[in-house]
Chains A and B, each alone.
Chain A
């Protein structure tokens, strides 16, 4: 292996320049229980202070040789800062992700405070990114993510209300989405400015298990395009769930990276979108790290690579309660099988 740092490996991959081997990372949460146990931070606490968030990300990264650290871990930071509150489940046993207790009844009631960046846990996320920059910024890549406009809207107004209104009162839904698009453009830039090397846009509420490809094309695609036009590279679009029916539409949003989950038929997707774009995916972020056998892990990672991904990513957040030996085996397999060039990225 060369003396390429993790950060260089990730950035070169995004730039589609040759790397020594495939980096191990993700565009979504990859905090792990073994890591937070080792530093004594309970799961509910990792969401609450910049120090805990950064430390849990760094520890998870170091423990399993990831090439990047990613924060935050939950989808509530923005809605909470808009004033919706959050349930953290401080006393629950086991892993419960934060949720939004009560949403607005309709899109026209949503209020976006101008100073939302200063509210609730927005400063926690900012602080965590800055800490990561300070502590690992020269050696490792720093990632963050923002929900796509429709999925974020679904955190403000119930997703089912939105989906129905997208038919019946389309203008109201569009008006909310447009506000969110503008905010997302600024927020993405802000995260880059304070130290993030990449920002993944997670539009998981728009797969074909929820909305039709037709609705995706009319309502979602133009807005994703606007965001990616405004953002600097790397431009990453992640959608989990059924994406076979919309992979070509995803490819036509201006993103440079498309990330999908294991419901996608990767090899077919690759042939549909060609080799001129980065495709990431798509191991099962629950079963592989916490349930699978060593053999199954080897097989699954090899299958991802053989199907034509440029980086093996989990299809969603890695379920935190991983078995250490599994997580390590996954990353070892990625580094090992990832020595050969992939459709869009060569090897040194």
Chain B
């Protein structure tokens, strides 16, 4: 098998493995990517992430539901855990990748959506600090300061816990205006995000990462001025 052929074959196995929740298949293919010295970043983006993208489409079409999404995520993490330590900085090129602090705000235990967003950041190459759910508001501020993350991503599924987001934004911006804060969750709209003074909002997993990258871009521009 030629190198290109092998690449195609392994990408297909990673992709399919995610779509069909075949953790063993993903594990084997990921290991072979390393053994054969193929481009690891390519395998993550065009294998695993591409598979997850298809899963997202199946979800939108009501072919897949949350259990399927979660199982695909497990398969994806099996591959990611093997591959990620071997990604070379130069593979990432000039794409602005960074660190994210993520969590569901205090009083709110809904974390299924948050976990899906977390996975999107993971797969896109961000370093993710997951605070879990029902997270005391000050904890976001602390964790941001400790990790110097560019992004804080907040999730709330209830209209009232959503109100806590405004407080977090204020607290973080007071200490550190150069953090991009992104909101999401069913009751949140882009209007609320604006109103609360957030820097970004995404309705679903599909556009969360692009939105985050755009946010970092805007922040860098502002800092350069």
Contact = CB atoms under 8 A, between A and B. Distances in A.
Contacts of B67: 163-164, 166-167, 210-212, 215
Contact of B160 (A94, A168, A211): A94
Interface string A299-312: 00000000000000
Contacts of A292: none
Q: Please tell me the size bucket of the interface on A.
A: 20 to 34
A95 B160 contact: yes
Nearest to A321: B160
B107 A167 contact: no
Nearest to B65: A212
Interface string A79-94: 0000000010100101
B155 to A, nearest CB: 14
A160 B66 CA distance: 8
B109 to A, nearest CB: 5
Interface string B167-204: 00000000000000000000100000000000000000
B82 interface: no
A104 interface: no
Contacts of A94: 107, 160, 163
Contact of A208 (B65, B112, B115, B161): B65
Interface in B62-80: 62, 64-68, 70-71, 74
B70 A97 contact: no
B106 A96 contact: yes
Contacts of A286: 159, 187
Nearest to B159: A286
B134 interface: yes
Interface residues of B, number: 21
B47 to A, nearest CB: 22
Residue of A89, A160, A211, A245 with highest tally of chain B CB at under 10 A: A160
Interface in A68-120: 87, 89, 92, 94-97, 99-100
A89 B137 CA distance: 14
Nearest to B136: A92
Contacts of A166: 67
A92 B106 contact: yes
Contact of B112 (A97, A100, A159, A321): A159
A84 to B, nearest CB: 13
Nearest to A87: B134
Given A92-B107, A159-B112, A160-B115, A167 B62 contact: no
Contact of B109 (A95, A99, A321): A99
Nearest to B116: A160
Contacts of B66: 160, 163, 209-211
A167 B159 CA distance: 32
Interface in B38-90: 62, 64-68, 70-71, 74
Contacts of B74: 164
Interface string B85-110: 00000000000000000000011010
Interface in A203-229: 208-212, 215
A159 B65 CA distance: 13
Contacts of A100: 109
A212 B59 CA distance: 10
Contacts of B163: 94
A87 B108 CA distance: 11
Interface string B139-174: 000000000000000000001110100000000000
A319 interface: yes
A99 B134 CA distance: 9
Interface of A: 87, 89, 92, 94-97, 99-100, 159-160, 163-164, 166-168, 208-212, 215, 245, 286-287, 319, 321
Given A95-B160, A164-B74, A167-B67, 14 more contacts: A92-B106, A94-B163, A97-B107, A99-B134, A100-B109, A160-B112, A160-B115, A208-B65, A210-B66, A210-B112, A211-B65, A212-B68, A215-B67, A287-B159
12 contacts: A87-B134, A92-B107, A94-B163, A95-B160, A96-B106, A160-B70, A160-B112, A163-B70, A166-B67, A210-B67, A212-B68, A215-B65
